[in-house]
């Protein structure tokens, strides 16, 4: 895998690198990051050839956007693709999810109405200091299908028609509703988190074949399933909760098979999604320049086809 290779999203003019940087950790996910380290992380990604960056208002309740924006604003705008998300408005008040270690005094409120989507986009651009996003995702509309697939999606299509975004998308931790969005014919790509990984291939049952058929690109995120595939051990997290013994055992078996082929498990985890033709890019989150450099190294490790074959033969992947 060449992490700096550029590919087109769907039938749009938006191009992304095979490896993208997910910016959630820069919002202080579980542990504080700080302004200086966040900026250095984005800079290191740029130095290493990454030209696709993904963020959301939710990440650090605005912190990730505020931290990444000034760095990217100093780069040639035509040279990178940037995505953010709509569906949550940040409003004054405490509360919200307790996974963010650095308080902002704001809390996210769901709103997938047309007005909410347009307001969210405007406020994101203000936090970022950028004039547009290349991709705009409807973010976690699980409990809001009617409003998101109606008002929200039409609002995104309107932004695309006006040239204010390049691609319409939805980003979720589940595959079935993303397939429903694809069937509307209005999305150019989808962001699938944690559902086409070495531990969970449920996205391949319906969503990925549908995307391949419809010419809709998939951006794969959550490829470590929140930690277990990065460092399989008792106490590691799987989908943001402690992993059970059976999952840890399976992750260790994956690592053993990878090591027989001289491939680190992290490298296989990053590159596995790209074995499906519908997947255009893989997003990996990082909170430091060192983590970015490791992700690029892992994305560059040669992975023999025999590894995937052995994993299938062992029943470790479908």
Catalytic residue IDs:
54, 59, 85
Please give the Cα distance from 296 to 19 (Å, whole number): 8
According to DSSP, residue 233 is labeled: S
- Kindly provide the residue ranges of all beta strands, DSSP E only, lying in 111-208, ordered along the sequence: 135-139, 167-172, 189-193
CA atoms of 1 and 300, how far apart (whole Å): 6
Contact (Cβ atoms closer than 8 angstroms) between residue 229 and residue 251: yes
Residue 5 DSSP SS3: coil
Return the ∠ at Cα 165 (arms to 184 and 291), rounded to 5°. Answer: 100
Cα dihedral: 89, 92, 93, 99 (round 10): 50
Angle between helices 63-73 and 35-47 (to 10 degrees): 50
> Rounded CA gap, 299 and 21, in Å?
12
Q: Copy the structure tokens of residue 152.
A: 């929200």
Please give the sequence-ordered ranges of beta strands (E in DSSP) within 87-227, or none if there are none. 88-92, 106-110, 135-139, 167-172, 189-193, 217-221
Q: Are 89 and 148 in contact (CB under 8 A)?
A: no
CA 231-217-190 angle, to 5 degrees, is: 70
74: Cβ contacts below 8 Å, ≥ 6 apart: none
């Amino acid at each position: 895998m060449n992490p700096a290779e550029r590919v087109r999203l769907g039938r749009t003019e938006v191009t992304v690198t095979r490896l993208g940087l997910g910016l959630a950790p820069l919002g202080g996910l579980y542990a504080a990051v700080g302004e200086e380290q966040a900026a250095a992380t984005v800079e290191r990604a740029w130095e290493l050839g990454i030209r696709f960056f993904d963020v959301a208002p939710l990440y650090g309740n605005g912190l990730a956007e505020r931290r990444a924006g000034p760095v990217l604003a100093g780069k040639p705008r035509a040279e990178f693709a940037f995505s953010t998300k709509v569906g949550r408005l940040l409003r004054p008040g405490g509360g919200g999810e307790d996974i963010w270690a650095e308080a902002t005094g704001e809390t996210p409120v769901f709103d997938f109405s047309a007005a909410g989507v347009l307001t969210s986009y405007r406020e994101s651009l203000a936090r970022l200091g950028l004039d547009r996003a290349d991709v705009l995702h409807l973010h976690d509309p699980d409990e809001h299908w009617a409003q998101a697939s109606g008002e929200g999606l039409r609002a995104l299509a309107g932004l695309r028609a006006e040239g204010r975004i390049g691609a319409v998308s939805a980003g979720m931790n589940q595959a079935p509703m993303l397939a429903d969005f694809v069937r509307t014919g209005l999305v150019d790509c989808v962001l699938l988190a944690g559902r086409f990984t070495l531990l969970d291939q449920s996205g391949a049952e319906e969503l990925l074949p549908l995307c391949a058929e419809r010419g809709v690109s998939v951006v794969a995120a959550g490829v470590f399933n929140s930690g277990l595939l990065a460092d399989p051990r008792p106490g590691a997290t799987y989908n943001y909760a402690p992993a059970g013994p059976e999952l840890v055992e399976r992750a260790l078996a994956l690592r053993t098979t990878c090591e027989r082929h001289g491939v680190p498990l992290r490298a296989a985890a990053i590159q596995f999604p790209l074995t499906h033709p519908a997947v255009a890019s893989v997003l990996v989150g990082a909170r430091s320049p060192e983590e970015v450099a490791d992700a690029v190294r892992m994305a560059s490790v040669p992975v023999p086809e025999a590894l995937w074959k052995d994993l299938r033969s062992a029943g470790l992947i479908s």
